[in-house]
Amino acid sequence: MTIEERTRLIRNKAYDLGFMFVGFSKAEFLEEEAKPLEKWLLSHQHGKMQYMENHFDKRLDPTLLVDGAKSVISLAYNYFPSAIQSSSAPKVAKYAYGEDYHYVIKDKLKVLFEFIEQEIGAIQGRIFVDSAPVLEKSWAKKSGLGWVGKNTNIIHPKVGSFFFLAEMILDLDLLSDGPIKDYCGRCTRCIDACPTEALKPYQIDASKCISYLTIELKDEILPNEFKGKMDNWVFGCDICQDVCPWNRFSKPHEEARFSPSASFLAMNEQDWLDLSEEQFKILFKNTPLQRTKWRGLSRNIAFLDQK
């Protein structure tokens, strides 16, 4: 089987499994990303996400994650919902509406990995779903899944940016794709719309990002400087995506496991204020919201300015 045939076989299987896009890159040191990553960390824009400081070399070199790595496969999976929350309710990022994406996408990657072994032969490799020191946006950019927008998200001109990223690193030679053009142009809607001023063109100060504040930051109380700036978000934030002109092309996903429960969609402001720990465990079982635990979510709800 030729490199072209192997690449085409994997791409077609990925599409069959429901992935929106799949791209291929040579597994090599990310030299272009090294200095910007170091500068970002040294300026403490990662906030209290100490894990971002770990494994600096592995984030840049896939051969340190998989011995003999030759290719990185980048995949995109749509999560844009067909229905959204009540306008009066505290807001949850769209990616967290349904079952935790780690479970859903890992299941599909395992199927894809087994398929490759069956059709091509024994391989060494690993699968990644936002769970290891992998610069997923850099690999997505290199493989043509989109460009890195001014909001630091991967944007594709046909579907926008509401999709998850995942990777496979394999000791298998595959035909590399190339990057696509940056179409952000002069637009600064994402930067202008961010209420905490976390964005500069192509750069994010994560310590100011609402997603970081509501999910990653584990402090007992959120910083007072952000009082009145949370725009009613209690888990994550979609502002910089919602205002992006390219997301007018977003289409609802077809993944049943991402579908939100009717109970969640029906929650109003008072329901969120009255949410008990028992209700939290039932309503958000196996969803991304489990990450904050009830205590963290309650902190976020309490922090919002009450009308």
Q: What is the 3-state secondary structure (H, E, C) of the chain?
A: CCHHHHHHHHHHHHHHCCCCEEEEEECCCCHHHHHHHHHHHHCCCCCCCHHHHCCHHHHHCHHHCCCCCCEEEEEEEECCCCCCCCCCCCEECHHHCCCCHHHHHHHHHHHHHHHHHHHHCCCCEEEECCCCCCCHHHHHHHCCCCEECCCCCEEECCCECCEEEEEEEECCCCCCCCCCCCCCCCCCHHHHHCCCCCEECCEECHHHCHHHHHHHCCCCCCCHHHCCCCCCEEECCCHHHHCCHHHHHCCCCCCHHHCCCHHHHHCCHHHHHCCCHHHHHHHCCCCHHHHCHHHHHHHHHHHCCCC
Tell whether 183 is covered by a domain.
Answer: no
Same domain, 269 and 149: no
pTM of the model: 0.94
Is 130 known to be catalytic? Answer: yes
Same domain, 46 and 103: yes
Same domain, 149 and 52: yes
CATH number, domain of 24, equals 3.40.109
Tell whether 177 is covered by a domain.
Answer: no
Cβ neighbourhood burial of 274 (10 Å; 0-12, 13-18, 19+): exposed
pLDDT at 51: 75
pLDDT at 121: 93
Same domain, 141 and 270: no
- The pLDDT tens digits along the chain (307 residues) read 899 999 999 999 999 999 999 999 999 999 999 898 888 888 888 878 877 777 788 899 999 999 999 999 999 999 999 999 988 899 999 999 999 999 999 999 999 999 999 999 999 999 999 878 899 999 999 999 999 999 999 999 999 999 999 999 999 999 999 999 999 999 999 999 999 999 999 999 999 999 999 999 999 999 999 999 999 999 999 999 999 999 999 999 999 999 999 999 999 999 999 999 999 999 999 999 999 999 999 999 999 864 4
Given 16, 107, 130, 192, the catalytic residue: 130
pLDDT at 200: 96
Tell whether 145 is covered by a domain.
Answer: yes
Domain boundary among the residues 140, 170, 200 is at 170
- Residue 207's φ and ψ, nearest 5 degrees, are -65, -15
What is the domain count for the chain?
A: 2
pLDDT at 305: 62
Range of the domain at 245: 189-250+261-303
pLDDT at 24: 98
Same domain, 237 and 291: yes
